Amino acid sequence: MAIRPIAQIGDPVLRRPVRELSKEELASPEMQTFIDELIATMRHANGAGLSAIQVHELVRICAIEVKDNPRYPYKPNVPLTVLVNPRLEPIGEEQFDNYEGCLSVPNLRGVVRRHARIRVRAWDRHGNEIDEDIQGVTAGTYQHEVDHLDGRIFVDLVEDPHTFCTWDEFKRHHEAEFADRVRRLVQRYGS
């Protein structure tokens, strides 16, 4: 399985519009191979998610998976989920501060306000309907990946630039507190 190069911040592809897929195009062997490569690239990079645009494909697809991820030891596990043509809607007004990083922005983290509950409507990789309520820190991961499909990177959404830090400084100064916050979200929402 091919591992694709991941676009880095500054690459214009990350700001380009993506297009939705038809069910016929989604079912094609080429698109199914691409989805396999997207998943393999995400896993190879130890990402919690990866959007097609990050690997230079301008289609509305992203993959999400957290399975004892060494980059995010405090995140709850999320089964492999492929979202095709996803649309997100906030449920309620509650938000939380999410310390985010990104495979397209290596060695940088920052705090982004995310909705604590969202409704996800999409297709899976086989064109089956997905309509789910996603909560807690997992909702933050979904929002992060779908933002990519809309040409946004987490650094665009950081309200307080003082929260930017390298991964090493995050681990040294912020990870323990953030991990406690994530545990509270998981206790409250189960994810």
The Cα 173–Cα 28 span in angstroms is: 47
Known catalytic membership, residue 37? no
Catalytic residue (choose from 145, 159, 169, 175): 145
Contacts of 117 (CB under 8 A, 6+ apart): 90, 91, 92, 94, 133, 134, 135, 139, 189
Quote the tokens at residue 117. Answer: 């509950």
Q: Contact at 8 Å (CB) between 57 and 2?
A: no
Using DSSP bridges, classify how beta strands 129-135 and 61-66 pair: parallel, antiparallel or unpaired. unpaired
Q: Looking at the annotation, which residues are catalytic?
A: 145
